Amino acid sequence: MCQVCHGKDGIAKLEEAPNLAGQKESYLVKALMDYKTGARQNEQMAVVASGLEDADIADVAAYYASIPFKVGP
């Protein structure tokens, strides 16, 4: 599900979606947990996160955190 907006490579496919490649794993876990519990608000992310188990969240966070990225000019 994440790939639709954030891309398999972690580079967002939609202008309003953030890039996730190389983001800190702990940040991604917290953000997804916050969407799941409602502490963080975004209609699309709430729907996605509500269907994720804690292990799924850990896996998604580890995956996107592991993608190398370059900052260019």
The string of pLDDT tens digits covering residues 19-48 is 999 999 999 999 999 999 999 999 999 999
- Residue ranges of alpha helices (H) inside 1-73 are 2-6, 25-37, 43-50, 54-65
Give the residue among 35, 56, 60 at the shortest CA–CA distance from 45: 35
Give yes or no for a contact between 6 and 22, defined as CB atoms under 8 angstroms apart.
no
pTM above 0.95, yes or no: no
Give yes or no for a contact between 60 and 35, defined as CB atoms under 8 angstroms apart.
no
Distances (CA, A) of 1 to 6, 25, 72: 9, 18, 28
Q: How confident is the model at residue 7 (pLDDT cuts 50, 70, 90)?
A: very high
How many domains, in total, are found in the chain?
A: 1
Residue 25's CATH number: 1.10.760.10
Instruction: Please check whether residue 28 lies inside any domain of the structure.
Output: yes
Instruction: Please check whether residue 2 lies inside any domain of the structure.
Output: no
Q: What is the DSSP letter of 61?
A: H
Instruction: Please check whether residue 56 lies inside any domain of the structure.
Output: yes
